[in-house]
Amino acid sequence: MSELRPSEMELYKLWLENATEDPDLIEELRSVEGDDEAIKDRFYRDLEFGTGGLRGVIGAGTYRLNIYTIRRATQGLADYVNEAYPGQDNAVAIAYDSRIKSDLFSKEAARVLAGNGIKAYIYSELMPTPMLSWAVRTLHCKAGIVCTASHNPSKYNGYKAYGSDGCQMTIEAADTVLGKINATPMFGGAKLVGFEEGLASGMIEYISQDVITAYLDEVQKQQIHPEVCAASGLKVVYTPLNGTGNKPVRAILKRIGVNDVTVVPEQENPDGHFPTCPFPNPEIKEALHLGLELCKTVKPDLLLATDPDCDRVGIAVPDKDGNYVLFSGNEVGAMLLEYICKERIKLGTMPERPVAVKSIVSTAIADAIAADYGVEMRNVLTGFKFIGEQIGYLEAAGEANRYIFGFEESYGYLAGSYVRDKDAVVGSMMICEMAAYYRSIGVSLLDAREAMYKKYGNYVHTVESFVCEGAAGMAEMAKIMGDLHENPPKEIAGFKVVALADYLKKTDTDLVTGESKGIDLPKSDVLKFTLDNKATVIIRPSGTEPKIKAYYTTIAAVREDAVELGQKIAKEFKASLGF
């Protein structure tokens, strides 16, 4: 048992005395009385506010998400906005998903903003995260907040902060907000008005249906072949995984003529407990179990699954035997890029000097595709805000139309520059259009994927996560990453490391020649090892969850060989880390 510091016990007592507005918190605090480990876990640190905002377990304490940590964070954000934009009619947009207490947390944020003289625009019902980015830009807000924990298990919630450009907050802005949060007392430090009082005064306003309709209009404009879906007879099974996608995804599919949509009934309505899906993540096959079961009877051309805040989408398609095959985010991203390039060039709608953007951990086959079609591929750090940032650079130069597509391997896609975040609504639409188009020329998505690999090579990607829970886990994460930066391996699974990119030191070194060049990206705790067989291993700590993530890429003439090689590298690299 770890020793309980007096400061943690003092905080525990302080919360027992002051956290009285939410009976759930007092009940929880009383339930852990005398349990030093449980108290320590709730109070040994604060939730860390970074470029992803806050994310944590819902509950009592400084290391939990609750109305007090939400208020304190929002006070810090309000102080930042008022200082950055003095004397202006400042406004902030707010959205929330289906998670436990998301609606409560969003209203608490609105109360604090109004209490600081900042107008709060808030959606009247749960909405996808990309619609927060849309609201920020459309309503000319100085910042945005969305209460979501994306695809995490139900015990988590989060608070993501956005800048005036509709991107997640920059590192510099987040650091400023963090300083202001730290200067705010947990109890009594936030200025508040009543929610109804804020509505009556106009300092809190519900976002109108016009804004929602305009968003769907912009999504629909991203079509390449507007006529193809209605003529295709495409049949779809869809699951919103008890999240926010149900209304907007079905609305956009109806608009483009995909009318044969069957929704997984158990996962149709919002439910933050995710009763049929403990891990509501379209990357995980288990999350799609009910959808895949429904496919056996409905026999659709496509299964779509969006995560709870509807910024990511996964798919499955039937093979010749009627079994449904899952596609990875890398595969869908690369296929969409190829489809967009090929068809826009054919139609004469491709802009001059087109630009695509992806994260450094996403598939390198996309670089080959981009080069083949004369598209500039920009590789950025993990986090869709960095893709949004590139769109912003193009927009500032009056060249936003050059951006054609961006994606991350974690099932996030964006066609169009109307928002600055990954968007599963446009992703779902573009996937359906791609499937309908290929169907119209007698090609299945499996055929199209095989043709892509035949043309560009068999790239196989594997992602592995090493969970590090609690205080001890966080320390272990820091130790592992620190050791790798200072003593990087010279070989992995028997293959020599021939190049090392250290994104924290911002150096990319050819270990054969000794030549080193700088990395023109912000510092980030990421390492990339290139092996002498052209395989790569990338490792980084997650920015939103207590885990380290490793990304493996292998390339071979025969796909099975690439798969086997990837398994070998992953197994031995994992063992070298002590997992």
Counting Cα atoms < 13 Å in the Cβ hemisphere of 567 gives: 6
Angstrom distance (rounded) from CA 553 to CA 536: 5
Give helix 209-220 / helix 129-138 axis angle, nearest 10°: 110
Angstrom distance (rounded) from CA 301 to CA 52: 36
Quote the pLDDT of residue 1: 41
The tens-digit pLDDT sequence of the chain (579 residues) is 445 556 899 999 999 999 999 999 999 999 999 999 999 999 999 998 987 899 999 999 999 999 999 999 999 999 999 999 999 999 999 999 999 999 999 999 999 999 999 999 999 999 999 999 999 999 999 999 999 999 899 999 999 999 999 999 988 999 999 999 999 999 999 999 999 999 999 999 999 999 999 999 999 999 999 999 999 999 999 999 999 999 999 999 999 999 999 999 999 999 999 999 999 999 999 999 999 999 999 999 999 999 999 999 999 999 999 999 999 999 999 999 999 999 999 999 999 999 999 999 999 999 999 999 999 999 999 989 999 999 999 999 999 999 999 999 999 999 999 999 999 999 999 999 999 999 999 999 999 999 999 999 999 998 898 888 776 777 888 899 999 999 999 999 999 999 999 999 999 999 999 999 999 998 999 999 999 999 999 999 986 677 899 999 999 989 999 999 999 999 999 999 988
Angle 48-52-57 from CA coordinates, rounded to 5°: 55
Give just the sign of the alpha carbon dihedral 234, 240, 244, 246.
Answer: positive
Residue corresponding to tokens 């990395």: 519
Please write the tens of the pLDDT for every residue from 21-66.
Answer: 999 999 999 999 999 999 999 999 999 898 789 999 999 999 999 9
Can you say how many angstroms the Cα of residue 485 is from the centroid of all Cα atoms in its chain?
A: 26
Token duo for residue 489: 């391996």
Residue 122, SS3? strand
Which residues have C-beta within 8 Å of that of residue 330, sequence separation ≥ 6?
Answer: 362, 363, 365, 409, 459, 461
Angstrom distance (rounded) from CA 128 to CA 212: 11
Please write the tens of the pLDDT for every residue from 275-314.
Answer: 999 999 999 999 999 999 999 999 999 999 999 999 999 9
Please write the tens of the pLDDT for every residue from 4-25.
Answer: 556 899 999 999 999 999 999 9
Please write the tens of the pLDDT for every residue from 398-440.
Answer: 999 999 999 999 999 999 999 999 999 999 999 999 999 999 9
- The DSSP bridge pattern shows strands 156-162 and 235-239 to be unpaired
**DSSP H or E stretch at residue 263:** strand 260-263
Quote the pLDDT of residue 52: 82
Catalytic residue selected from 133, 150, 362, 410: 150
Q: Return the number of other C-beta atoms located less than 10 Å from residue 88's C-beta.
A: 11
Angle 149-155-157 from CA coordinates, rounded to 5°: 25
**DSSP H or E stretch at residue 540:** strand 536-541
- Say if CB 159 and CB 77 are below 8 A apart: no
Token duo for residue 96: 């929330």
Which residues have C-beta within 8 Å of that of residue 212, sequence separation ≥ 6?
Answer: 127, 131, 248
* Burial readout 305-337 (b: 16 or more C-beta within 10 A, e: otherwise): bbbbbbbbbbbbbbeeeeebebbbbbbbbbbbb
Which residues have C-beta within 8 Å of that of residue 480, sequence separation ≥ 6?
Answer: 548, 577, 578
Angstrom distance (rounded) from CA 418 to CA 219: 8
Question: Which of 419, 148, 433 has its CA nearest to residue 304?
Answer: 433
Angstrom distance (rounded) from CA 157 to CA 58: 6
Which residues have C-beta within 8 Å of that of residue 72, sequence separation ≥ 6?
Answer: 181, 184, 185, 186, 189, 190
Angle 313-47-130 from CA coordinates, rounded to 5°: 25
Question: Which of 396, 438, 448 has its CA nearest to residue 417?
Answer: 396
Quote the pLDDT of residue 224: 98
Quote the pLDDT of residue 5: 54
**Amino acid identity, position 566:** G
| pTM, two decimal places | 0.93
Question: Which of 71, 135, 140, 63 has its CA nearest to residue 107?
Answer: 71
Please write the tens of the pLDDT for every residue from 223-239.
Answer: 999 999 999 999 999 99
Which residues have C-beta within 8 Å of that of residue 204, sequence separation ≥ 6?
Answer: 110, 111, 113, 114, 119, 120, 122, 195, 198
Asked if 150 is an active-site residue, the reply is yes
- The DSSP bridge pattern shows strands 313-318 and 324-327 to be antiparallel
The DSSP code sequence of 454-484 is HHH-EEEEEEEEEE--HHHHHHHHHHHHHHH
